[in-house]
Amino acid sequence: MDCPRCSVELAAITNDDSAINRCPECGGLWVDGTDLSKILLHANLPALSAIGGQINVDELTGMCPACNVDMVVVEGGEKLALHYDTCESCGGIWVEGEEADEVPEAIDWKAAGAELATFFRAFAKKK
């Protein structure tokens, strides 16, 4: 699978039967819907469907790394300042990375999962 932004190969970080994929270039994270559900549950967060958000059809997205179809942008959080991309075909989620110079060299599954949990905790906040 390639990064929807940089077209470099994503690095898979696996834990038991779950995987998070990180782009070594931009630090973006790709996770499938089932694995994200587990992470949200573990972090005592509501399911993604309950977290909500607004689809912004005018925003440009990348292609789903799994299905090669266009993803959609979902905006949420305070003042809709946060967004993630999702593939309506496979349910995968793409979360942008931090600034490039802050991308950690190596990251384990727990840290990547915590990063996703932090993102969705902020995303669940209403204005």
Closest CA to 35 of 55, 18, 51: 18
* DSSP SS3 for 113: helix
Total residues belonging to the chain: 127
**Which of 89, 98, 110, 125 touches Zn ion by CB under 5 A?**
89
Binding status of residue 23 toward Zn ion by CB under 5 A: yes
Paired tokens of 79 = 């003042």
Which of the 8 DSSP states describes residue 70?
B
Paired tokens of 115 = 């990063």
- Of 6-14, 47-55, 100-108, 116-124, which part binds Zn ion (CB under 5 A)? 6-14
Residue with smaller CB distance to Zn ion, 27 or 124:
27
Binding status of residue 29 toward Zn ion by CB under 5 A: no
Binding status of residue 41 toward Zn ion by CB under 5 A: no
Residues near Zn ion (CB under 5 A): 3, 5-6, 23, 25-26, 28, 64, 66-67, 87, 89-90, 92
